[in-house]
Structure 1
Amino acid sequence: MGRRKKNAWNNLSLYIATRLAAMGLMMFDAESNLRSATAFGRMMYKIDKRHRERARNSIATAFPEWSPKQVEDVTLESFEQFLRLAIEVIHTPREVQHDTWARQITGRNLAPVLELLNARQPAILLTGHIGNWEVLGYFLAMLGYGIDAIARPIDNPYINDWLLGIRERKGMRIITKFDATERMVNVLDSGGVLGFIADQNAGDKGLFVPFFGRLASTYKSIGLLAMNKNVPVVCGYAHRIGAGFSFEMGVVDTIYPEDWENQPDPLYYITARYSRALETMIRMRPAQYLWMHRRWKSRPRHERLNKPMPNGLRKQLEDLPWMTQPELDRLMYTEKTA
């Protein structure tokens, strides 16, 4: 059997197994499956040493004032929360309906995004790997608001198509990285809303902005798109509340064009401000963040060369309206801790 045929067979086998597992899970109610997912999360925490250590180190970096017990408790709960996500994705089409969503979803400061959506004004809506980022777009699409979300395709094409069907069932459209640029521009030009998960590491060429007291490489594309199209950036979240299928959806910040037009470095300002909004979302419920991914993996050039922070970067940081001297002092600390 050739390698290509073997890979295709492996993908198909995994897809069939996944669909059978999903069918089996749908024989039970959401709350029962969520309890099981929590238990599997505790099991994963015990056996997956690599990701456990990575999450533990990330949490300790973000919250240096926490005790070892606090760090460990949140590490464990973050595994439990992560395993809940897959169950929630499977149950979302059944649980979030026009006549039932009010029992499962609570709004908080949603006026800014609803005002833009109702006016059919173009906007960028971003969130992070916090809570359930999938249900946020699904819910807005179910209410009749057209959302085009940027997503990386899953390597297994069968599973990718299946999940794509779930995501798009209520009208949300998925833009993959392969056709992203032209479609993103078209969405905003037509008055649509673009959704991003905005907390991925952007590599050595990203913009390094503050994130939990440490510089983190962040993509420039969101800020550039907002500036070029003169559209606001809405920073929102979907946090789990309670043990069942319930969420709080809210907005923590909306960045309007007039906010950045007089800034010394508008691109750096937008990127740093939405990164700050993501940090705010995480601080609200730290255990619901995906601490397993390596947010601080890439380091700025001066750290890699063990040199002082360049004056240009320091000036960018000092120009941020919310920057304080203690935070700036912490950012100047260059020892690699995560």
Structure 2
Amino acid sequence: MTRRNRRWLARRTGAWRVTAGRRIALRYWLEYAAVRLWSLLINCFPIETNLRTARLLGRLWWLLMKRHRQRAMENLRAAFGDRYSDEQLGRIARRSFEHFAQLYLVELVMTPRIVNEWSWSRYVELEDLGPALRELLVGRGVILLTAHFGNYELLGYTINRLGLPLHAVMRPLDNPLLNDFLEESRRAAGLHLLIKRGASEQAGQILAGGGALCFIADQDAGRKGVFAEFFGRPASWYKSLGLLAMQYRVPLVVGYAVRFREGFGYRIATERIVRPHEWEGRDDPLQWITQTIASSLENAIRRWPEQYLWAHRRWKTRPRENWASPERITNSAPNPESGVPPS
């Protein structure tokens, strides 16, 4: 545990009774030990074997975690209720649980080891990335955005393996031991990390120097965020996404990595590139940028809904009663009606 996290843990537990603080610390150590043991165990087996096991555990998660299952179904009904039956939505939700069990239990642990400079092309296909790669290569700064969709970690690893340095913005975990372990594995794989709290100044320096930043964009920003329509409902988005792009006049690249075959196989593609000339001169450029990001991510998720984290509390923060939905953004992304429910 780093000195910073030891201080953080002391502050976190010092507000309660000493015994309560010790219980919290013990829980963190037990969680950490379990994750390290799991990591050692699954590295003894081929990734395809581990993915089959994780899929079964994901199905068990779907069956046992009633609260998460209900939230996923509520979100899916709000997003697709007029198009799909409850039976179809249930299949999408169950497959989402299976997919994220594979991602969290296996792929996040094994990806840094098996996806390297020589092997990445066995697992990853690149689709029409020319324009996005040009933005990364030109050296004027770029912001890469994705969501809790597909394998968002693989996106950063692959770009790094292509020789393009990327700075990923991450939120620290509550457990400082696990946080250190995760940071260490990501840095060992070559990723440059920015801790979300207090990252604004560093982010600006990176963009000003022509670097690339990567954000997971679909996180609830609370009351201080910008509200934009996402699957027909207002959701709160971080202002920093648009403000950084506007301040440094850099493009935003909305991309994703989706599973395209059984097992460990992903396709990386770009959904939308939002360039400065598109928002300059608009009445409310920040709102326009935010809605364009939301619409672009929605279009991609509609095509592979089973790979989105529907149990995520994306619509947790509600806007004020007088909030009016902005005009929907029409962009060049594929038709959002092209999504097909799993059979």
Same fold (TM over 0.5): yes
Q: Deviations over 1:24-57 (max 9, x none)?
A: 1111000000000000000011110000000011
Show the 5 A alignment for 1:45-56.
45-56=62-73
**Which position in structure 2 is the counterpart of 1:221?**
240
Q: Which runs of 4+ in 1 moved over 3 A?
A: 1-6
CA drift at 1:20: 1.1
Which of 102, 112, 119 lines up with 1:84 in the alignment?
102
Q: Distance between the aligned counterparts of 2:77 and 2:240, measured in 1?
A: 29
Give the total of aligned pairs: 313
2:199 alignment partner, SS class:
helix
Which of 43, 55, 62 lines up with 1:38 in the alignment?
55
**Which position in structure 2 is the counterpart of 1:7?**
24
Q: Distance between the aligned counterparts of 2:190 and 2:112, measured in 1?
A: 12
CA drift at 1:138: 1.3
Q: Deviations over 1:48-102 (max 9, x none)?
A: 0000000011011111211111101001101101101121011102221222111
Aligned: 1:317 with 2:336: no
Aligned: 1:60 with 2:60: no
**Which position in structure 2 is the counterpart of 1:294?**
313
Aligned: 1:147 with 2:162: no
Q: Is the 8 A contact 1:106 1:248 kept in 2?
A: yes
CA drift at 1:13: 2.6
Q: Distance between the aligned counterparts of 1:263 and 1:114, measured in 2?
A: 27
Q: Distance between the aligned counterparts of 1:169 and 1:141, measured in 2?
A: 12
1:178 alignment partner, SS class:
coil
Which of 90, 107, 113 lines up with 1:72 in the alignment?
90
Q: Deviations over 1:276-320 (max 9, x none)?
A: 111012112100000001222222211xxxxxx56xx45x427x4
1:97 alignment partner, SS class:
coil
User: What is the identity, as a one-letter code, of the residue corresponding to 1:97?
Assistant: N
Identical residues among aligned pairs (%): 41
Gaps of 5+ in 1: 303-308, 328-338
Show the 5 A alignment for 1:1-338.
2-64=19-81, 65-86=83-104, 87-302=106-321, 313=324, 316-317=326-327, 320-321=329-330
Q: Distance between the aligned counterparts of 2:283 and 2:197, measured in 1?
A: 33
Q: Distance between the aligned counterparts of 2:112 and 2:199, measured in 1?
A: 26
**Which position in structure 1 is the counterpart of 2:5?**
none
CA drift at 1:189: 1.3
Q: Is the 8 A contact 1:130 1:281 kept in 2?
A: no
CA drift at 1:134: 0.9
TM-score, length-scaled by structure 2:
0.87
Q: Distance between the aligned counterparts of 2:197 and 2:317, measured in 1?
A: 24
Q: Deviations over 1:115-155 (max 9, x none)?
A: 12222220100000001111111111122211111111111
Q: Distance between the aligned counterparts of 2:284 and 2:199, measured in 1?
A: 26
CA drift at 1:192: 0.7
The worse-fitting range, judged by mean Cα deviation, of 262-271 and 34-43 is 262-271
Q: Distance between the aligned counterparts of 1:162 and 1:73, measured in 2?
A: 34
CA drift at 1:219: 1.6
User: What is the identity, as a one-letter code, of the residue corresponding to 1:255?
Assistant: V
CA drift at 1:221: 1.2
2:224 alignment partner, SS class:
coil
CA drift at 1:2: 4.1
User: What is the identity, as a one-letter code, of the residue corresponding to 2:177?
Assistant: Y
Q: Distance between the aligned counterparts of 1:151 and 1:69, measured in 2?
A: 36
1:43 alignment partner, SS class:
helix
Q: Distance between the aligned counterparts of 1:195 and 1:42, measured in 2?
A: 31
TM-score, length-scaled by structure 1:
0.88
**Which position in structure 2 is the counterpart of 1:333?**
none
Gaps of 5+ in 2: 1-17, 337-343
